[in-house]
Amino acid sequence: MSQDLNTAMVEKYRNDFLKEVEEKVEEGEWVRMCMQCGVCSGSCPLGPYWEHPPQEIFMMIRAGKREEVLSSSSMWMCTSCYNCIVRCPRELPITHIMHGLAHYAKRLGLAPKEQPTMKFAQLFWDNLVKQGRVNELKLGLSLYFMNGFSEGVKTALKMAPVGLGMLKTKRMNPMEMVGGHKVKDLKGFHAMLKKAEEIEAAKIEKQEAEA
Amino acid sequence: MADMKIGAYICKGCGLGERLDTDSLENIASREGKADIARQHDFLCSGDGVAMIRKDIDEEGVDHVVIAACSRRAKTDAFRFEDVACSRVNLREGVVWIRPDTEEARETTQEMAEDYVRMGCAEVRHMKVPHPSNEQPRNRHVLVVGGGVSGMTAALEAAKAGYAATIVEKEDRLGGHAAQLWRRIPTRAPYSDPEVPEIDALIAAVEAHPDITVYLNAKLKKTSGAPGRFYADIETADGVVTESFGSIVQASGFKPYDASQLPEFAYGKTPDVVTQLELERMAREADGGPIQRPSDGKAVGKVVFIQCAGQRSDQEGHLPYCSGYCCNASIKQAMYFKNQNPDIDTVIYYTDLRTPGAGGEDFYRSAQDKEVIFSKAVVKEVTPAEGGGLQVRLHDLILDEEAVTDADLVVLATGMVPNSGVNIEALTKPNVEEEGEGEAEAETEATIEVPVESILNLDYRQGPDVPQLVHGFADSHFICFPYETRRTGIYTTGPVRRPMDIAQAVDDATGAAMKAIQEIENAARGRAAHPRSGDLSFPEFRKEGCTQCKRCTVECPFGAINEDEQRYPVFNESRCRRCGTCMGACPVRVISFENYSVDTVGQQIKAVEVPEESEEKPRILVLACENDAYPALDMAAHNGIAYSAFARVIPVRCLGSVNTIWVTDALNSGYDGVVLMGCRKGEDYQCHFVKGSEMAHYRMSKIFDTLQQLGLETERVITHEVAITDIQRAPGLINEMAETIEKIGLSPLKF
């Protein structure tokens, strides 16, 4: 579906990527207000590791570089420290725009495939929806095995003393492996998520219909 | 001189009484200084002290007063005796505050004070009370050259203040470039959309005012005279009218930069590349409807604005400066398109976006909100694309890459070129520079080739227009002396002074009108304009002694001096700023002011007691500019910074007024060193009289021959550039000279 959506969006906006961002990306309507001062890029603690810092991302959007922006790993690097939002003289919600872009890229299937932040986000979500509560034991383990079985075993062995220490101080309950704690009304919680998914799907469907 | 009566008053306050032997000072004033009355007072600037002096003036007939107290820059209100000649002896900042309070220093400190009292008495003996010249009447009539926004505002402001104004406009209508605009940059909150310029209302107000006369299609054929008595020959189709004026406001505005010098942007090759001013015309014609592409009448779908086109560039034929208004103008013009149809693509390529003015930032933001795209890039080339349209090749500065974009219309933000008339300094270089390098001369010759029409046609010896400061803008100093040109009573305003937009021009013209009024009043009272505001003294010369060498007329920074038929100088008192550069220039020393002359300083130099060589007490003459160096030394004293007790400091009006005779006289009478302190010269000068410091440096560079003739080391005379902030450095320079003398030994010319 995402491939279709991507083609539809390309077809719809042609080379007006700025307009596409404004309409489709959360907080995207702010991109035009950037005055290219570069304070966001300078303030980002991970700035040097980004492929394109926020200032550049905004400029690329205006220059219509759709593929490069959406397939970039840059916005996945954001740790939500909010330094850029605090410092932006034009008061752009830069952190939110980065997340909006990342989300949009994933939806279109353009996000880089092996992006660890994206993978972790998916693990976190899958873990959470099961019981309505995060099962830290399972989340930790799935994180160890995120990149394959042998690496998972190695990491698990390396972390064993930490795990035993947590067991001893009752910071971790081994019983979480089976079942685990959950929200009081699990049925209601799932119903709520289902409804949300329906709303979202309807929205996308509408978008596609418009395209 | 026979009936001169000198009163010397010595203050004992501020620690003077404790640190100095004032009885001895009183003695010196009456015995050596020949003061008829000498008195001491515990607190001279108090009501009681001032009353004592006043009483002597009124009852004893004292007409020359010596006040030995604090610096002449302090207590000016208390010690203001306008009916007598007055000399201030600086015992506080000049002596006790710059000397350590120790037993060893006591003797030299006392000697210093005694010399200053002798100097004060010698000076006052050669001073006269300045009298107003009454050379010109109060002429409440301002001539405004140029009928654009600046000129009309200046005329209106002057008229509102009760002064008549006459506008001379070369075109057949008022309004200038501003009248061609469709909309203007917003002046009111929320600064989000272009506003109607309302130039018509300004024109109507000018035309309706009973005290404003307007000459259209008119030129100044000749302008002569001086503040308070300018005469202008105004030439129109109906003939020449001569009128008299008190002062002049030159608001001759600007010419748009010639965009045909920008072939890289295809200007002239295709009608689809236009300047901002041309787009205004297109917008006026469209009047809110879609703006059409000039080549084929197609509605514009994408427009590209190129900022700094031929500006802020070192390239030959480009303007090196920023014109200041064009960023806002492009934002405004992009809105012409966006407000008509939000789907039109508008891109502004800039390198640095500058939006001056109160609402500039809001206006920029408003454009972004309207989806005007701002892109930091250098445009390399514009080429007509095949099958219509344009192709813009650029280098994106944020993404650091080359890019190509299409456009239906390209608008060039070309700048302003000042309409300042003839560059008189290229015509007649003063002697100073003529003797300079050959390279500079070659350059001069090249500039003369360009025929430029004069704006004012001044009947001044120095040339037909006001001197230019930089890049052809007619000003004397952008920051310190706005509006002041180097021609007293002629004020420049608007874009002829520096690049500006309408709002700035309105403020600027109001200021210039006030200066013009001030000058009318000053001229009527015979008072000097800035910076010696209110000074009544003016130069006089002894005709019998004059050799008609013309040096004074050439070197006067303000063009105050003309020549008569016999080539004698003619001083125009109200043009004069009283700097004394002419006095310093005069080789036969025939020029003097009533209270400042070759004698008032020369006699001070002679009054200093030069100790014999065996005493090993050198004497250093310091001639310090009263505007910067002297206050710097005063402030050093306030900060308790000590300097050599062998220095004798004399304030001068400008280093340009220093006549070399003072230096040679000092050296001849046994001084060991001479330090001259003036302001910074050159392109970023700080001299209050523009060229004074430069002249002085030049003259002093020639003094080495004299020193060699006298058999003296060249290190004994040194000229420094001192700023008012050089509080640590200025005393240091005096101490440096003291060290130099210690190294090279005392002068062999002592008696």
**DSSP secondary structure of A53-88:** -HHHHHHHHHTT-HHHHHT-SGGGG-----HHHHH-
Report yes or no: B689 and B663 within 8 Å, Cβ to Cβ: no
Give me the phi and psi of A92, to 5 degrees please.
-75, 140
Q: What is the pLDDT of residue B561?
A: 93
Whether the CB of A59 is below 8 Å from some CB of chain B: the reply is yes
Whether the predicted pLDDT of B596 surpasses 80: yes
In a domain, B541, yes or no: no
The reply to whether B751 and B738 lie within a common domain is yes
Report CB contact under 8 Å: A63, B403. Answer: yes
In a domain, B728, yes or no: yes
- Please name the residues in contact with B605: beta carbons below 8 A apart, sequence gap of 6 or more: B621, B650, B662, B665, B666, B669, B671
The amino acid at residue B566 is: Q
SS3 B620: strand
Choose among B61, B64, B67, B60: nearest CA to B25: B67
Choose among B492, B186, B159, B523: nearest CA to B361: B186
pLDDT-derived band at B552 (thresholds 50, 70, 90) equals very high
Which site among A20, A32, A74 would you substitute to test the B interface, given the most B Cβ atoms closer than 10 Å to its Cβ? A32
Beta-bridged to residue B585, according to DSSP, are none
Give B319 to chain A, closest Cα distance, Å.
Answer: 26
Rounded to the nearest 10 degrees, what angle do helices B729-744 and B629-638 cross at?
Answer: 100
How many structural domains comprise chain B? Answer: 4
Helix (H) or strand (E) holding B392: strand B390-396
SS3 B615: helix
Torsion over CA: A160, A162, A168, A173 (sign): negative
The reply to whether B279 and B229 lie within a common domain is no
Dump pLDDT digits (tens) for A52-66: 999 999 999 998 899
The pLDDT > 90 percentage for chain B reads 86
Beta-bridged to residue B384, according to DSSP, are B390
Report CB contact under 8 Å: B369, A32. Answer: yes
The amino acid at residue B638 is: H
SS3 B81: coil
A24 or B413, higher pLDDT: B413
CATH 2.130.10.10 fits A2-113, yes or no: no
Q: What is the mean pLDDT of residues A118-127?
A: 91
pLDDT-derived band at A204 (thresholds 50, 70, 90) equals confident
Whether the predicted pLDDT of B279 surpasses 90: yes
SS3 A36: coil
In a domain, B343, yes or no: yes
In a domain, B672, yes or no: yes
Radius of gyration from C-alpha coordinates of chain A: 20
Mean pLDDT value across chain B: 92
Q: How many CB pairs under 8 A join A and B?
A: 32
Whether the CB of A37 is below 8 Å from some CB of chain B: the reply is no
On chain A, the residues whose CB falls within 8 A of the CB of B371 are: 18, 32
Q: What is the pLDDT of residue B436?
A: 42
Burial of B540 (0-12, 13-18, 19+ CB in 10 A): middle
Q: How far is the C-alpha of B320 from the C-alpha of B335, rounded, in Å?
A: 28
Dump pLDDT digits (tens) for B697-750: 999 988 888 888 888 999 999 999 999 999 999 999 999 999 999 999 999 888
Which site among B374, B392, B406 would you substitute to test the A interface, given the most A Cβ atoms closer than 10 Å to its Cβ? B374
In a domain, B369, yes or no: yes
Q: What is the pLDDT of residue B427?
A: 66
Q: How far is the C-alpha of B181 from the C-alpha of B281, rounded, in Å?
A: 7
Whether the CB of B368 is below 8 Å from some CB of chain A: the reply is yes
On chain B, the residues whose CB falls within 8 A of the CB of A33 are: 365, 368-369
Q: What is the dihedral of CA A66, A69, A73, A79, to 10 degrees?
A: -130
Choose among B321, B330, B314: nearest CA to B275: B330
Report CB contact under 8 Å: A56, B399. Answer: yes
Cα–Cα separations (whole angstroms), residue B144 to A153, B435, B462, B523: 91, 38, 22, 18
B190 or B432, higher pLDDT: B190
Strand order in the sheet with B212-215: B212-215, B164-168, B141-145, B247-250, B490-492
> Which CATH number do you get for residue B303?
3.50.50.60
On chain B, the residues whose CB falls within 8 A of the CB of A55 are: 398
Please name the member of B365, B396, B399 whose beta carbon is closest to the beta carbon of A33: B365
In a domain, B713, yes or no: yes
The answer to whether the complex's ipTM is over 0.90 is: no
Mark which of B351, B386, B415 sits at the end of a domain: B415
On chain A, the residues whose CB falls within 8 A of the CB of B396 are: 59, 63
Report CB contact under 8 Å: B369, A63. Answer: no
Q: How far is the C-alpha of A146 from the C-alpha of B534, rounded, in Å?
A: 87
The reply to whether B467 and B480 lie within a common domain is yes
Mark which of B525, B552, B569 sits at the end of a domain: B525
Report CB contact under 8 Å: B373, A35. Answer: no
Mark which of B507, B525, B543 sits at the end of a domain: B525
The reply to whether B616 and B745 lie within a common domain is yes
The reply to whether B153 and B176 lie within a common domain is yes
In a domain, B553, yes or no: no
Please name the member of A18, A32, A59 whose beta carbon is closest to the beta carbon of B399: A59
Whether the CB of B204 is below 8 Å from some CB of chain A: the reply is no
State how far Cα B259 lies from the chain centre: 32
Whether the predicted pLDDT of B244 surpasses 80: yes
Report CB contact under 8 Å: B399, A62. Answer: no
Whether the CB of A36 is below 8 Å from some CB of chain B: the reply is yes
Query: Can you give the residue ranges of every domain in chain A?
Result: 2-113, 116-198
The reply to whether B617 and B744 lie within a common domain is yes
Q: How far is the C-alpha of B204 from the C-alpha of B224, rounded, in Å?
A: 31
Tokens of B408: 């239906």
In a domain, B530, yes or no: no
- Range list of H helices, B264-400: 276-286, 326-340, 360-369
Report yes or no: B675 and B722 within 8 Å, Cβ to Cβ: no
Q: How far is the C-alpha of A13 from the C-alpha of A15, rounded, in Å?
A: 6
Whether the predicted pLDDT of B141 surpasses 90: yes
Report CB contact under 8 Å: B368, A33. Answer: yes
Task: Compare all CA atoms of chain B with the CA of A90 and give the residue at the minimum distance.
Answer: B365
Tokens of B519: 């000058």
Please name the member of B368, B371, B399 whose beta carbon is closest to the beta carbon of A63: B399
Could you count the other beta carbons within 10 Å of the beta carbon of residue B548?
Answer: 13
The pLDDT > 90 percentage for chain A reads 60
Report yes or no: B579 and B692 within 8 Å, Cβ to Cβ: yes
Burial of B546 (0-12, 13-18, 19+ CB in 10 A): middle
On chain B, the residues whose CB falls within 8 A of the CB of A72 are: none
- Which domain does B719 fall in, by range? 610-751
Q: What is the pLDDT of residue B433?
A: 44
Could you count the other beta carbons within 10 Å of the beta carbon of residue A7?
Answer: 12
The reply to whether B93 and B64 lie within a common domain is yes
Report yes or no: A90 and A34 within 8 Å, Cβ to Cβ: yes
Whether the CB of B402 is below 8 Å from some CB of chain A: the reply is no
B530 or A211, higher pLDDT: B530
Whether the predicted pLDDT of B55 surpasses 50: yes
Whether the CB of B373 is below 8 Å from some CB of chain A: the reply is yes
The reply to whether B482 and B395 lie within a common domain is no
Whether the CB of B365 is below 8 Å from some CB of chain A: the reply is yes
Report CB contact under 8 Å: A63, B365. Answer: no
Task: Compare all CA atoms of chain A with the CA of B353 and give the residue at the minimum distance.
Answer: A35
Whether the predicted pLDDT of A72 surpasses 80: yes
Whether the predicted pLDDT of B340 surpasses 60: yes
Whether the CB of B689 is below 8 Å from some CB of chain A: the reply is no
Choose among B583, B739, B730, B598: nearest CA to B672: B739
Choose among B719, B725, B660: nearest CA to B686: B725
Report yes or no: B402 and A66 within 8 Å, Cβ to Cβ: no
Tokens of A86: 């605090």
Whether the CB of A73 is below 8 Å from some CB of chain B: the reply is no
Q: What is the pLDDT of residue A211?
A: 60
∠ Cα B683 B685 B688 (to 5°): 145
> Which CATH number do you get for residue B121?
3.40.50
The reply to whether B228 and B277 lie within a common domain is no
The reply to whether B278 and B234 lie within a common domain is no
The reply to whether B739 and B616 lie within a common domain is yes
Helix (H) or strand (E) holding B616: none
SS3 B649: strand
Q: What is the pLDDT of residue A2?
A: 63
Tokens of B266: 């295809």
On chain B, the residues whose CB falls within 8 A of the CB of A59 are: 375-376, 396, 398-399
Report CB contact under 8 Å: A59, B368. Answer: no
Torsion over CA: B89, B94, B97, B101 (sign): negative
Report yes or no: B287 and B438 within 8 Å, Cβ to Cβ: no
SS3 B538: coil
Task: Compare all CA atoms of chain A with the CA of B368 and give the residue at the minimum distance.
Answer: A33
Give B537 to chain A, closest Cα distance, Å.
Answer: 56
Report yes or no: B159 and B509 within 8 Å, Cβ to Cβ: no
Q: How far is the C-alpha of A151 from the C-alpha of A153, rounded, in Å?
A: 5
A90 or B445, higher pLDDT: A90
Whether the CB of A147 is below 8 Å from some CB of chain B: the reply is no
The reply to whether B503 and B388 lie within a common domain is no
Total residues belonging to chain A: 211
